[in-house]
Amino acid sequence: MILYHPVHDPHHAAFRMLRLLLAHPDHAIPHIALRILDFYLLFPAEIEDIQMPAALRTWKTMFRSHQNKYFSNVSKHSVFRQLAGPQVLGLRLLQSRGLISDIAGDANPISAHVEEIPSGLADMLRRVDDSERQLINFLARDLGATELNGQMGLKKRTGLAEFRYDIA
């Protein structure tokens, strides 16, 4: 039996991360933050476990009703580790096509080259985003604007990445 799962698909990861980059106001997100946001795009029901900043607490329960399409009981740490390989391959695919900037380190921002995105792909991205507008805007604009490092950073708030040695 052949099973498909988007967690292990670098092309699906490339598509998801390009969606996040294009939805962000600056079209640029630090590498590790992009990986974290991608996890929550795949598993929106896990958003309620984030320690939200006060300004975003109203969003906390907004996505509770979204069932995890791909896993019923998510061990978020192990799935986040499993996502690393396909995410990096997806980013390299986008980079090889000239759609994003170089991938250099976890804290360095990855930028989308909006003018290089073919119109057919841009249309497809818009159609998919329209179906999940609230989720993609929350992740890219609201949660994506949260500071990445330190005691109040995205890495600590989500618990998905090491934060204790951050220079904040």
Of residues 66 and 70, the one with the higher pLDDT is: 66
At 167 the pLDDT is 60
Q: What is the pLDDT of residues 98-114, one digit of tens each?
A: 999 888 766 688 999 99
Q: What is the mean pLDDT of residues 42-46?
A: 87
Q: What is the pLDDT of residues 148-158, one digit of tens each?
A: 887 788 888 88
Reported pTM:
0.88
**HSE toward the beta carbon, residue 4, CA cutoff 13 A:** 5
* E-strand stretches of 6-66: 28-30
Taking 80 as the threshold, does the pLDDT of residue 62 lie above it? no
At 43 the pLDDT is 87
The answer to whether 31 and 38 have CB atoms below 8 angstroms apart is no
Q: Which of 104, 63, 87, 107 is nearest to 15 (CA)?
A: 87
Taking 60 as the threshold, does the pLDDT of residue 168 lie above it? no
Q: What is the pLDDT of residues 80-95, one digit of tens each?
A: 888 999 999 999 999 9
CA end-to-end distance (rounded Å), the chain? 48
Q: What is the mean pLDDT of residues 32-41?
A: 93
